[in-house]
Chain A
Amino acid sequence: MAELLEIRWHGRGGQGAKTAATFLAASAIASGKYAQGFPEYGPERRGAPVKGFTRISDKPVKLHCAVENPKMVVVLDETLIEVVDVAEGLPKEGIILVNSNCDPQTLRDLVNFHTGKVATVDATTISIEELGKAIPNTPMLGALIKVANVLPIDSILEDITKKFEKKFSQKIIQGNINAIRRAYEEVKVDDSI
């Protein structure tokens, strides 16, 4: 990937959109790429719609403006589809990845995006089964890696282990690794091109 990949994350306050956006950037940097990760700072409240952004490139990123036309959109909470135009600014060949138990063909109509790729993964169920809690952001990273083909899965797994081992038990780390792997394998893609 020589060119710049821009990703917009949609979540609700507390779901980890900011953490996921910056974590992915940090993993990309750890693997030798250049990246930026930042949230959109507004009046955040738990449960309110929030956005995060990631830029990844093989070359230094000079841009310091907002992401207006992301190549990819990741939606951590599918109830946002009713309140936010998640497909806004996507190019025709863009990608939308949604945390949902629906199949991607059904989701395509709901997000009103009839070109490019639509992908779904049930990250909430995966996180409940693997982590005992609905924290969809880490499994969504696994699905993103598969769909966007941006970093090797191992670099995310190594990074999770490295970052989490200071704060969390081995059980939680293993749960996250399992969740990421499962989402990587279970994500379903509908490609209209």
Chain B
Amino acid sequence: MGKRMALTGNDAGAYAFKHANADVAAAFPITPQTELMHKFAEFVADGDVDTELILVESEHSAMSACVGSAAGGARTFTATAANGFALMWEIVYIAASCRLPIVMAVVNRALSGPINIHNDHSDSMGGRDSGWIQLYSENSQEAYDNILQCFRIAEHPDVLLPALATLDGFVLSHTVEAVEILDDDVAAKFVGKYKPHFSLLDIDNPVTVGPLDLQDYYFEHKRQQVDAMEKAFPVIKAIGKEFGDLTGRYYSYYDEYKLEDAEAVVIALGSAAGTTKAVVDELRAEGQKVGMIKLRMFRPFPYLELRSLLKNFRAVGIMDRCISFGGYGGPVFNETRSALYGLPNPPVVSNFLYGLGGRDISTHQIREIFETVQKSAQHEPQNLIHYVGVRE
């Protein structure tokens, strides 16, 4: 089934977009996303896809072109990173509020300054309130799988929201790994043909997109975006299962890893989730009762499911590769801890901020995180926020 290849994360992303065979793509280069669009441009030049690739002069224009294209009923995607994502900010919100099922790959990179090209999650986490679905990838295989599923999720009639899949800059985007790419016909059948619900080009059924919307209806439209996010839950689950039946790689909101009888649990997303699994393997081999949860879906946030899962544990550690300055802990910590509020006997939840600007997160450091979480199960600590691997 499929073809096993040695690909970088960027190449794997480009193959997913090839298999989605979108009508239109618009993008602007930015490290570490550049090679993804290079590779995709090769597919365009070789005639492997039917995509019209629009080379724009900025990311603001890239997302604007995507909005126009998607409003015209075309399957549309883009890819960006860091400051590129920041530059398209205004239009990122507009894409979501127009309910345009645009797909975007975000090759996670630190949001300057000082200027830094390496990985953290400040870019996509900053967009958490913009109305986009967000899926995080542990490795390049998941980057391919997530991007492909994003098209199905975004275009689902119950959802009609833009969706982004992330892959960690350099750690995945520039690392060669084994990735299984679906056969072209299998991928085409999975993604399916796009039948837009509305199109500006459908002159027999005229619609208005993006008009003025003031005190009278704006709030109702926002409420509908909330509904669409709620409706995305079962869709994301069903498509993850369908993808699993097809490939053997099943997806849901999160992965539970060796949680049975675990006394300390760590939650991570992105590539550090893989390193955390390797540490869980080591610690289990030493007889320690530890496990981890890999969060795949951050938007919508699976608060009910995590609340019900985590209530069984004494101590939980949350790894965040992003700081919310002036806030109490990082975004994954905030959301998870809030989901546990009101439980009669909630676990102690600690936050571990790590890896900003591409700072390596080693197996030793993750072992220390588990140690801290284990201790917090015995004595509730005064300080819940920890900075990992930083000089103080």
Q: How far is the CA of A37 from the CA of B275 in the complex (A)?
A: 16
Judge if A66 is at the interface, Cβ distance under 8 Å: yes
| Chain B hits for A65, CB < 8 A | 275, 360-363
Q: How far is the CA of A91 from the CA of B6 in the complex (A)?
A: 29
The answer to whether A64 and B139 have CB atoms under 8 Å apart is yes
Residue on A nearest B362 in the bound complex, by CB: A65
| Chain B hits for A62, CB < 8 A | 274-275, 277-278, 281
Taking A29-B6, A30-B6, A41-B118 as contacts, is the C-beta distance between A64 and B176 under 8 angstroms? no
**Minimum distance in angstroms from B383 CB to a CB of chain A:** 25
> Number of residue pairs across A and B with beta carbons under 8 Å?
64
The answer to whether B360 and A66 have CB atoms under 8 Å apart is yes
The answer to whether B271 and A64 have CB atoms under 8 Å apart is yes
Q: Chain B: how many interface residues by the 8 Å CB criterion?
A: 27
Q: How far is the CA of A60 from the CA of B138 in the complex (A)?
A: 13
Q: How far is the CA of A29 from the CA of B5 in the complex (A)?
A: 7
Q: Which of B171, B176, B271, B278 interacts with A22 by CB under 8 Å?
A: B176
Judge if B334 is at the interface, Cβ distance under 8 Å: no
The answer to whether B177 and A35 have CB atoms under 8 Å apart is yes
Q: How far is the CA of A30 from the CA of B5 in the complex (A)?
A: 7
- Chain B residues 146-164 with CB under 8 Å of chain A are none
Q: Which of B5, B139, B362 interacts with A66 by CB under 8 Å?
A: B362
> Using a CB–CB distance below 8 Å, which chain A residues touch chain B?
22, 25-26, 29-30, 34-39, 41, 60-66, 68
> Using a CB–CB distance below 8 Å, which chain B residues touch chain A?
4-6, 117-118, 138-139, 168, 170-172, 174-178, 271-272, 274-275, 277-278, 281, 360-363
Can you list 26 A-B contacts (CB < 8 A)?
A22-B176, A25-B6, A25-B176, A25-B177, A26-B176, A29-B4, A29-B6, A29-B176, A29-B178, A34-B177, A35-B6, A35-B176, A35-B177, A36-B176, A38-B175, A38-B176, A41-B170, A41-B174, A60-B178, A62-B274, A62-B281, A63-B363, A64-B171, A64-B274, A64-B275, A65-B361
